[in-house]
Amino acid sequence: MKSLHIRDLPEDTLAGLKRRAERHRRSLQKELRLLLEEAARMEPTDLKEPARLSLRKVKTGAKGTWRRKEIYGDEGR
């Protein structure tokens, strides 16, 4: 089996990985191996794009114009 060596890992990153491993009741080595295996299985198609928003007009029966002065009582900046 191959080995991997990571240089210049920030202390806070290492501390976070250790906390994550402890939370999952795993060794740091096992936690890292599982993270890397999961990342290696992911394909770009697995990454979902954010849902697109669409606007829908509805009739509320209101007679307002939605102008700033009408809503806030001022003229804005």
pTM of the model: 0.54
Determine, yes or no, domain membership for 30: yes
Tens-level pLDDT at each residue, the chain (77 residues): 788 899 999 999 999 999 999 999 999 999 999 999 998 887 766 566 777 888 888 777 777 777 788 778 887 66
By residue range, what is the domain housing residue 20?
A: 9-46
Any idea how long the chain is?
A: 77
Determine, yes or no, domain membership for 72: no
Number of compact structural domains in the chain:
1
Determine, yes or no, domain membership for 56: no
Closest by CA position to 3, among listed 29, 41, 39, 42: 29
Task: Determine the Cα–Cα distance for residues 9 and 6; give it in Å rounded to an integer.
Answer: 7
Determine, yes or no, domain membership for 53: no
Determine, yes or no, domain membership for 27: yes
